[in-house]
Amino acid sequence: MPDAGEPVVVETAPAKLNLDLLVTARRADGHHDLDSLVVFCELADRLELRPAESFSLVLEGPTAAGIPAGPDNLVLRAARLLAETVGVAGGAAIRLVKEIPVAAGLGGGSADAAAALRGLRRLWGLAIDDERLRELGLGLGADLPVCLYGRPARMRGIGERLDPVRGLPDLPLLLVNPGRPLPTGPVFRGLTGPFRAADRPPLRAGPSLVQLAVWLAESRNDLEPPARRLEPEIGRVLEDLAALSGCLVARMSGSGATCFGLFGDRGELQTAALLLRRKHPDWWIRPTVARGGP
């Protein structure tokens, strides 16, 4: 029996990182088709869920101040959607500890909503399968399906088409955000096209870290130009990341403004973090590792 104060279900909500992101089409409904290699970081939010008669949410953690505490929080929206879909009458007392910066291109809200769906499925003992959960999640946001999957994947369409990417190495990454939120909508609206099918070669199976870096260097994030127009500091972040010793690739994630530097090993990564923090004490700078896998 758990103690009264013990969490019953704990879920981590890892930050999502787009190693590249090609915008391949604009649909008639205004949505965009993407082709993106997505990985998940050790940097994560944490959700604790306990059974309760109604839903409640307590927010904690260093980045909690930037998000809604009420019904608009994606955690509560996901919880209500699941309860309505499966016909659960009860609720849950949820505690969310935020570590992921908000409106930063790291999919924090989607990661939290995905963790809520996974956690409630466990808490309520639901028989709903992964595919149905992903369909449900897509209604809340394009990044939900990949965040539910939670492992390296090639994401296509508006986010509904996922192919597992196996055999990636663990990736030492330096995440850097210049400290200003950048909403996703205006970045997409700044895209001018023309859009075309992804033109990068396929990634070889089981690449080494250096092989992956060489492949990535040939690719890009198509949201970088419109994001840089809205937040010119992104250009400075990318320049300073690329200049750090051992940085193999520097790029923006998602719709920004967080950028990453990929490093060859964790020692170089820690040194780079120290140097950059000394130069930019006002930036959010976080070394992390994105998990590869079998």
Instruction: Tell me which residues are annotated as active site.
Output: 16, 143
CB of 138 to ligand ATP, least distance (A): 13
Contact flag: residue 61 with ligand ATP (CB under 6 A): no
> Site for ligand ATP (CB under 6 A): which residue of 91, 159, 254, 287?
254
CB of 222 to ligand ATP, least distance (A): 14
DSSP notation for the chain: ---TTS-SEEEEEEEEEEEEEEEEEE-TTS-EEEEEEEEEEEEEEEEEEEEESS-EEEEESTTGGGS--STTSHHHHHHHHHHHHHT---EEEEEEE--SPSSSSS-HHHHHHHHHHHHHHHHHT----HHHHHHHHHTT-TTHHHHHH-S-EEEEETTTEEEE--SPPPEEEEEEE-S----HHHHHHT---------SPPPPSS--HHHHHHHHHT--BTTHHHHHHH-THHHHHHHHHHTSTTEEEEEE-TTSS-EEEEESSHHHHHHHHHHHHHH-TTSEEEEEEE----
> Site for ligand ATP (CB under 6 A): which residue of 14, 107, 287, 292?
107
Nearer to ligand ATP, 41 or 75 (CB): 75
The stretch among 99-107, 127-135, 216-224, 243-251 that binds ligand ATP (CB under 6 A) is: 99-107
CA distance 58 to 243: 41
> Site for ligand ATP (CB under 6 A): which residue of 68, 167, 169, 246?
68
Contact flag: residue 145 with ligand ATP (CB under 6 A): no
Contact flag: residue 73 with ligand ATP (CB under 6 A): yes
Contact flag: residue 104 with ligand ATP (CB under 6 A): yes
Contact flag: residue 227 with ligand ATP (CB under 6 A): no
The stretch among 107-115, 190-198, 206-214, 222-230 that binds ligand ATP (CB under 6 A) is: 107-115
CA distance 199 to 293: 26
> Site for ligand ATP (CB under 6 A): which residue of 91, 105, 137, 159?
105
Nearer to ligand ATP, 93 or 275 (CB): 93
CA distance 265 to 267: 6
Residue number closest to ligand ATP, CB atom: 109
Q: Which of residues 179-198 bind ligand ATP (CB under 6 A)?
A: 184
Contact flag: residue 108 with ligand ATP (CB under 6 A): yes
Nearer to ligand ATP, 74 or 148 (CB): 74
Contact flag: residue 37 with ligand ATP (CB under 6 A): no
The stretch among 1-9, 65-73, 79-87, 119-127 that binds ligand ATP (CB under 6 A) is: 65-73
Close Cβ partners of 136 (under 8 Å, ≥ 6 residues apart): 81, 82, 85, 117, 128
Residues that bind ligand ATP (CB under 6 A): 67-68, 73-75, 102-110, 112, 143, 184, 254-255
